Structure 1
Amino acid sequence: MTKKRKQTVSLLAFVFPALLLYAVFTIAPAFGGVWYSLTNWNGLNPTYDMVGLSNYIEALRDDPYFVDSIWFTLKYVLYMVVFQNVIALLLAVLVESRRRSRVWFRTIFFMPNMLSLIIGGFMWVFIFTRVLPSLADTTGLPFLDQSWIGDPSRSFYAILILSLWGGVGYLMVIYIAALQGVPEHLREAAAIDGAHAGQIFRHITLPMIYPAMTIGVFLTLSSSFKVFDAVFALTGGGPGRSTQVIAINIVEEAFRFQQRYGYASAKAIILFVIVLLITLVQLWIMKRREVEA
């Protein structure tokens, strides 16, 4: 064997255990889900019938709760992509502007990411139901005493607050790393030429961290479409089904109601297709912007 082939074999030997686990526990179940989405399997009966695309047709045409969950999830994704990336970028700029306390602030803003959103959700339930009403009694501010979880118009914003609290720190670290990679001499040259801080950030810093923004938007899109724990811990999809996202709708269909595993698998495939198409469009648009920048 040549030296290059030996290196290839050794590298494959190192990654083979990870590839095997990925194939067994991720790829194989994914193909199994595609198969079961074409059946009426209930998850327990060893016998089932092929129903073709009827599960997909029923989900998109005859299931108003699933359609509503799609629109609610799209609304949630839109808010999360904008607010999470903007807040994370602002925090990264503010933290990097600190000289002595930047490590302290990085730790503080990143700490919520170290907790499960299930635990964080229970903490925020206590804040929304106990702490805010107490502050309303103390300060006299009426909007704090509103029902943040029981009111459909406010429960959406409660979910946003929890999700931003748990996810902004992770993106902040990515943007901090990108900001540290911007050459300082470019900023200094622009400042000597008379550019103020806003112009330096817009015309020098922002184009150079655009690859990090592509990663940030991609991560936010994928995680927001698959959101489950934040909504489950905070509202459980309620009140009623006003805050039900696609993942909770799928879980309820498979485990809580009629145990229609085949039908739930079809919904999961629909979610996969939606995420795939939107992600491909996002990557195509932002990669072109990277080249232009």
Structure 2
Amino acid sequence: MLKQSHRATLSLLLFVLPAFILYLLFLVIPMLQGSYYSFTNWDGLNKSYSFVGISNFIEAIRDDANFRNSILFTGKYVVFAVVLQNGLALLLAMLIESQRRAKGFFRTIFFMPNMLSIIISTFMWVFVFSKVMPALSEYAALKFLGISWLGDPNVSFWTIMLVSVWGGVGTLMLIYMAAIQGIPQHLKEAAIIDGANPFHMLRYITMPLIAHALTICIFLTLNNSFKVYDLIFALTGGGPGRDTQVITMNILEEAYQRNFRYGYASAKALILFAIIFIITMIQVTVMKKREVEA
């Protein structure tokens, strides 16, 4: 019996080993190297560099106005992305689940944006905002469509949010639908017999029993929103100016595009990691407590 147990453990380790090696090579080791370089003035090109202690972190937080602005814009984006994507996904999930027919059709329609590459779908939206909207404004006399969707700082954020919600709702909707389908039918029937209205059903039956799905979806949107890059890069390139520059764009600009300050960029990346880690831990802890209470 003991030998069989050892064989099972060995076979498990053999199956896990390739994935663990890849995880070690492409995630853990680069992260440790980046943490090391964040305390240096390395430019990413030369072999020589010197240690500068925590001066990179002090400069990023105290002296770098562009970095602080990118943090503020990223925070704004994260708040709206989490609220709008989860709110709309939950609403769509409940509406589709309430239908008796064509559930598969609606699932396919709303999930379809997730089947496209982010870059391809974003360039499609760039064409819509830069060519289609002005044409409609001119030929259909819809003057409000002629605004600068990507060039006006007051409008570009909401343009980004529109594309972000369009592309992010599908996956969350499926998770919420799966959770709603897992609610025991007898609980719904008992609540209806007791005279519960739709609001009571949502508050006391649906929301408590899909709390685990809510935790997962908020975690996913938080993680993806903090790391967003390709969507905003393809839409606005961080412009006009730096008005829509997120943290990831600021870090890559510092390391590769303008200043070639790899050590300084690594310090910014560590700050981003700390922000994501702290907020994620708070979110998971609070949501898990609510799951237990439910």
**TM-score of the pair, normalised by structure 1:** 0.97
1: distance between equivalents of 2:176 and 2:138? 39
Q: After superposition, what is the alpha-carbon deviation per residue over 1:28-50, rounded to whole angstroms, capped at 9, x for unaligned?
A: 00001100111111111011111
- Which residue of 2 is the match for residue 23 of structure 1? 24
Question: How do 1:123-202 and structure 2 match up within 5 A?
Answer: 123-202=124-203
1:227 aligns with 2:228: yes
Question: How do 1:202-221 and structure 2 match up within 5 A?
Answer: 202-221=203-222
- Which residue of 1 is the match for residue 34 of structure 2? 33
**CA shift for structure 1 position 16:** 0.8
Task: After superposing the two structures, state which structure 1 stretch, 195-204 or 134-143, moved more.
Answer: 134-143
Q: After superposition, what is the alpha-carbon deviation per residue over 1:96-133, rounded to whole angstroms, capped at 9, x for unaligned?
A: 12222111111111111121221111111111112222
Deviant stretches of 4+, over 6 Å: none
* SS of residue paired to 1:182: coil
1: distance between equivalents of 2:57 and 2:243? 23
**CA shift for structure 1 position 68:** 0.3
Q: After superposition, what is the alpha-carbon deviation per residue over 1:4-37, rounded to whole angstroms, capped at 9, x for unaligned?
A: 3332222111111101100111110000110011
- Which residue of 1 is the match for residue 263 of structure 2? 262
- Which residue of 2 is the match for residue 9 of structure 1? 10
2:109 is matched by which residue type in structure 1? I
2: distance between equivalents of 1:8 and 1:217? 35
* SS of residue paired to 2:48: coil
**CA shift for structure 1 position 139:** 4.5
2: distance between equivalents of 1:138 and 1:88? 35
1: distance between equivalents of 2:176 and 2:93? 6
* SS of residue paired to 1:12: helix
1:275 is matched by which residue type in structure 2? I
Q: After superposition, what is the alpha-carbon deviation per residue over 1:223-272, rounded to whole angstroms, capped at 9, x for unaligned?
A: 00000011100000000000000000011111111211111111101000
User: Percent identity over the alignment?
Assistant: 58
2: distance between equivalents of 1:152 and 1:140? 24
**TM-score of the pair, normalised by structure 2:** 0.97
Question: How do 1:272-291 and structure 2 match up within 5 A?
Answer: 272-291=273-292
**CA shift for structure 1 position 198:** 2.2
Question: How do 1:12-91 and structure 2 match up within 5 A?
Answer: 12-91=13-92
2: distance between equivalents of 1:218 and 1:66? 24
2:63 is matched by which residue type in structure 1? D
1: distance between equivalents of 2:135 and 2:291? 48
**CA shift for structure 1 position 138:** 4.6
Task: After superposing the two structures, state which structure 1 stretch, 204-213 or 138-147, moved more.
Answer: 138-147
